[in-house]
């Protein structure tokens, strides 16, 4: 897709996919137009299609991949579908945006990287927190060398996730959600940590399920050594607070 062309988008999965339209594409009309929607849930398809006046609606990804005018396939389905849908969209010659978690294993990400090398399109995972003002300022300060040598980082992620959250059938199950607090929630804070502190050299971690009756982890601790030599601790777990989410991170340097 050329830089000057308006990107024609299809949204696949109309849960958070609705927010991609409302908070993303719709605000950039000179760059993107959403022309097609795909969801296996007819009611959602109708609700989101009517709200944004998107006429082309389908329950099948194959239909979307056959639409010649669609440049960008934006995958917002439950986690277990991402891997196969990314590969299908790449082999159909589409650009691919995909929600986190991109895939569920290192072997899968290696195969996605290999498929992308052979494909016309690129894969763009959603890590929206990278684009926050504060994070961008912190990165600039670090990149300019003002922050000095990184000594130590701590990342604590405490998002409130009650039984109600796990009522959505695909959540909390290893086969459909692929992972728990590490893969689904703390992924954002951990992504920021690597953005600011660079690649990880080694990890020692423990994970357990202690809060909700689910089969993915909801508590974890990890001790990391970064390639820079900095030490980092991570402790994702559910919040005991009533606020929907809480999290904090700090980096010590000189
Ligand atoms: N970046 C973020 O902050 C953020 C926020 C919320 C969700 N997410 C991610 O987005 C993804 C979806 O989460 P959600 O909260 O929207 O879930 P959701 O269950 O609310 O919505 C998923 C939608 O996908 C549809 N769907 C399921 N299988 C499909 C298929 N094969 N083809 C087409 N449509 C299909 C479902 O009918 C549903 O409408 C997850 O991977 C989640 O981790 C990311």
SS3 of 209-232: CCCCCCCCCCEEEEEEEECCCCEE
Per-residue pLDDT at 131:
94
**CB 175: neighbour CB atoms within 10 A?**
10
Collapse the DSSP code of 7 into the 3-class scheme (helix H, G, I; strand E, B; otherwise coil) and give the result: strand
Are 207 and 217 a contacting pair, CB within 8 Å?
Answer: yes
Q: What is the pLDDT of residue 249?
A: 56
Spell out which residues line ligand 1, taking CB within 6 angstroms: 12-16, 38-41, 44, 61, 76-79, 81, 99-100, 126, 128, 168, 184
| Tokens encoding 197 | 């502190």
Helix (H) or strand (E) holding 37: strand 32-38
More confident residue, 211 or 199: 199
Asked which of 48-62, 114-128, 180-194, 230-244 is least confident by mean pLDDT, the reply is: 230-244
For residue 140, the CA-to-ligand 1 centroid distance in Å is: 33
Q: What is the pTM (predicted TM-score) of this model?
A: 0.93
- CA dist 22 and 42 (Å) reads 20
Does 64 score more than 50 pLDDT? yes
User: How many Å lie between the centroid of ligand 1 and the Cα of residue 67?
Assistant: 22
Q: Give mean pLDDT, residues 19-23.
A: 98
The atom of ligand 1 lying closest to the CA of 38 is: 33
For residues 121 and 246, what is the distance between their CA atoms, to the nearest angstrom? 36
Residues 6 or more apart in contact with residue 98 via CB below 8 angstroms: 74, 75, 82, 85, 86, 123, 124, 125, 126
For the segment 202-219, the average pLDDT, to the nearest whole number, is: 94
Arithmetic mean of pLDDT, 142-168: 92
* Range 52-80 average pLDDT: 98
Pocket test for ligand 1, best of 10, 16, 157 (most atoms within 8 A of CB): 16
Q: Which is nearest to 161 in space by CA: 233, 236, 248, 98?
A: 236
The pLDDT > 70 percentage for the chain reads 93
With bands split at pLDDT 50, 70 and 90, how would you rate the model's confidence at 245? very low
Of 201, 188, 194, which Cα lies nearest the Cα of 229? Answer: 201
Q: What is the mean pLDDT of residues 172-191?
A: 94
- Furthest-apart CA pair in the chain: how many Å? 56
Mutate to test the pocket of ligand 1, among 10, 11, 12, 13 (most ligand atoms within 8 A of CB): 13
Q: Is the pLDDT of residue 106 over 50?
A: yes
Taking the CA of residue 14 as reference, the ligand 1 atom at the shortest distance is: 39
Continuous H helices in 160-254: 174-177, 187-197
Pairing relation of β-strands 245-253 and 150-159? antiparallel
Confidence of residue 241 (pLDDT cuts 50, 70, 90): low
């Amino acid at each position: 897709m050329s830089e000057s062309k308006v990107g024609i988008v299809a949204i696949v999965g109309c849960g958070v996919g609705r927010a991609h339209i409302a908070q993303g594409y719709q605000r950039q009309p000179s760059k993107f137009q959403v022309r097609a929607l795909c969801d296996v849930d007819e009611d959602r398809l109708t609700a989101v299609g009517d709200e944004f006046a998107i006429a082309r609606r389908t329950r099948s990804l194959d239909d979307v991949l056959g639409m010649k005018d669609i440049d960008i396939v934006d995958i917002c389905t439950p986690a277990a579908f991402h891997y196969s849908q990314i590969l299908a969209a790449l082999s159909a010659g589409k650009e691919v945006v995909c929600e986190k978690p991109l895939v569920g294993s290192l072997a899968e990400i290696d195969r996605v990287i290999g498929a992308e090398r052979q494909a016309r399109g690129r894969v763009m995972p959603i890590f929206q927190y990278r684009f926050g003002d504060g994070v961008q300022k912190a990165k600039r300060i670090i990149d300019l060398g003002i922050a000095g040598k990184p000594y130590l980082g701590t990342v604590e992620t405490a998002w409130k996730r009650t039984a109600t959250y796990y009522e959505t059938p695909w959540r909390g199950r290893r086969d459909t959600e692929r992972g728990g607090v590490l893969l689904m929630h703390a992924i954002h804070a951990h992504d920021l940590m690597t953005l600011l502190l660079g690649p990880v050299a080694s990890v020692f971690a423990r994970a357990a399920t202690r809060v909700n009756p689910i089969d993915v982890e909801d508590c974890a601790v990890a001790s990391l050594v970064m390639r820079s030599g900095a030490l980092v601790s991570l402790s994702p777990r559910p919040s005991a607070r009533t606020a929907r989410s809480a999290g904090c991170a700090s980096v010590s340097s000189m």
